[in-house]
Structure 1
């Protein structure tokens, strides 16, 4: 199958794990391979309410059996979804525009920012990932490409924990980046960050640290785009959105991945004044963005999050999981830090001051062999990235931690 894939799809795609795995069925927090073996999914945030959730599946099938068209026709389902979605944001966020992917949502946000500011300069973190369009590849160093060479891009270090100084230090990096732009005659457009800094290695604390950086960006004339593609939809365990932990209101919010529990739906929400100016100068149309089936999937996901209390569940399970992972530090000196919020957790592995990149890769593959799925992040690839479906419970956390503990013992 791998040879067939290479022949048909070409060499640019990548597979997970040294020994790739084929899945044929998903259910809740479990994935099943072609031999019927069950794997604990502690990584896939796309299926945020669990793989193949029956309420979401039924909503998609019901709408697909009736009508699926685009947003140039009137349809109540997209309006119902827009109302439900906007009700989850601060009152200042008043409009939403639908796309198919998070990349499209971020691309649209960049268009709006450039139109409304007249600038082109964008600041992102050093290992950020924001999408795969040509504009966003320049803003996504984690893709493994050379550092952005476009003159309008500035990279800043991720906000590593520094206690009460975290926000001040990060804001200082933002200030320096925009000042460097000014010296180069580049007008600012946006500060774009994933609000849990996932690809940078998962940085969530202390709550509120991001506000100073946003104030700094706005003082420089830039807009703040909160990329919620990964932390959004209750994953952080404190409200639906990652930015809410920082007591601020973005200018624009982008979302995708978990929005349809695997169905391709995404969106960009914004302050109305921005879209009023953008709409006066430009038009936007997306054939599949906001189609009735996607809207039905999105409504169903919001239903499940509310009805099953998944935000509170993510907080409780995440707290339990972080405590169990932290307890492993007394057994394994390789574990330098355990951090995160809700069910988005990073476990940093180091030899004193040296990133344990090789060991991290080995652990990810050993866990896959033992049918537990996680991945790695960070500029050195030495942070275990854990972000399971939100239905992940304490019994699943125990299985994850016990398997990790044994794998670290066996791998030495």
Structure 2
């Protein structure tokens, strides 16, 4: 029975019977059954091809032959030594191959921070998401705020998201970076008044679930100064935005400038192109403090040679195919096309490259009114569903679920961008800033 091919309806029936209801599915009203994928395309059981605009996990493209080959070849080997031969590098920091999931990486980052500082309190951003394990739920308001009667952890402090489009301080503020950083400073002061001590400030370098938010330049530098003055460290979560996705830089935190370097960086998802692989990189001082505590770091799957081989293959493909450069070029083209759509469709509130994206990390915020910024949540869901009918896969995120997010594989082409925006134009044509007719 394991080799039996089930049709879509039978698959959905079995899923409802055996999978918990909290495990959500895309397009729940009419799910897709994807049976294969290659590059930036996915195929359903009927052979219909869909353009994948949202899967930032398949970083260099679904089922890239070089990545598949690297994993298969390493599976046949016995030792990691064969993998490392000829693959030596010089590191300016120390890393932990933390095992399988992104959540494990951020969990380990918190442990490193707390051992290094001897403090416990953590500052996170509103609408943040950093993982699903117990230590991360409280620092992930994006999920935590959805829980009824949820009790806030007294050791966790939430700072405003540095969103200059919809946030507390906007693009017309004379110094939004300082204003948002001062919010973190004030949180630190209040924590100290209650006897708390800051272990870490953690943030995605660009907020993803929070609505494709690009912090104003200078924000992280000032936050880091406040946090380090209080004895804490800065953790940059690069799980969704690292590895060249922003185009101009390999790491999204570099968008802030050369004068900002985090103390700890976490990475995962695109690192293994869909294969489970994550990593924590820290300064030698932080890593050595963790080692001195006497507790050995052990993970059954940490440093798995197959995972490492796949991770190296991903980096090789990125270099060989200039995927970071492609992200920059196609990202500029995509943003330009979307900006043109803003002139045609009042439902589009913001796609400015300065506000809602970099490279192939772009958000399109839908609003009912460009002055009040009333979120067009229902409209966004309808757009997504209609795009699926046009064989374009997008999703909506942000605190109001009204931001269409582009995070495609980095092999996404200018022609793919043309097609996606053409279909968005088709769906939005004739629409008004009110729920579409059902």
Fold conserved (TM > 0.5)? yes
Q: For the pair shown, which has the larger CA radius of gyration, 1 or 2? A: 2
Shift of 1:6: 2.2
- Contact 1:106–1:131 (CA under 8 A) maintained in structure 2: yes
- Contact 2:95–2:281 (CA under 8 A) maintained in structure 1: yes
Instruction: Specify whether residues 151 and 28 from structure 1 end up closer, same or farther in structure 2 by C-alpha distance, changes over 3 A only.
Output: same
Using the TM superposition, name which of 163-172 and 187-196 deviates more: 163-172
Partner-residue secondary structure (3-state), 1:49: coil
Shift of 1:77: 2.7
Partner-residue secondary structure (3-state), 1:75: helix
Q: 1:71 is matched with which residue?
A: none
1:264 maps to 2:280: no
Shift of 1:384: 0.9
Partner-residue secondary structure (3-state), 1:311: helix
Using the TM superposition, name which of 311-320 and 172-181 deviates more: 172-181
1:342 maps to 2:353: no
RMSD: 1.8
Shift of 1:373: 0.9
Q: 1:245 is matched with which residue?
A: 255
Q: 2:379 is matched with which residue?
A: 359
Shift of 1:25: 0.7
Question: 2 CA distance for matches of 1:301 and 1:388?
Answer: 16
Q: 2:429 is matched with which residue?
A: 409
Using the TM superposition, name which of 93-102 and 252-261 deviates more: 93-102
Partner-residue secondary structure (3-state), 2:71: helix
Find 1:9's aligned residue among 4, 19, 34.
19
Number of aligned residue pairs: 401
- Contact 1:125–1:200 (CA under 8 A) maintained in structure 2: no
Per-residue CA deviations over 1:146-177 (Å, capped at 9, x if unaligned) read 56611011112211124462311220121122
- Contact 1:363–1:411 (CA under 8 A) maintained in structure 2: no
Question: 2 CA distance for matches of 1:231 and 1:346?
Answer: 13
Instruction: Specify whether residues 66 and 97 from structure 1 end up closer, same or farther in structure 2 by C-alpha distance, changes over 3 A only.
Output: closer
Q: 1:178 is matched with which residue?
A: 188
Q: TM-score, normalised by structure 1?
A: 0.93
- Contact 1:167–1:211 (CA under 8 A) maintained in structure 2: no
Instruction: Specify whether residues 340 and 79 from structure 1 end up closer, same or farther in structure 2 by C-alpha distance, changes over 3 A only.
Output: farther
- Contact 1:344–1:387 (CA under 8 A) maintained in structure 2: yes
- Contact 1:232–1:242 (CA under 8 A) maintained in structure 2: yes
Partner-residue secondary structure (3-state), 2:429: helix
Find 1:322's aligned residue among 327, 335, 339.
335
Q: Which has the higher contact order (CA 8 A, sep 6+)?
A: 1
Question: 2 CA distance for matches of 1:411 and 1:368?
Answer: 17
Shift of 1:136: 0.6
Instruction: Specify whether residues 291 and 80 from structure 1 end up closer, same or farther in structure 2 by C-alpha distance, changes over 3 A only.
Output: farther
1:212 maps to 2:215: no
Gaps of 5+ in 2: 1-10, 165-169, 433-438
Per-residue CA deviations over 1:328-355 (Å, capped at 9, x if unaligned) read 1111111111120000001111122211
Q: 1:145 is matched with which residue?
A: 147
1:95 maps to 2:99: no
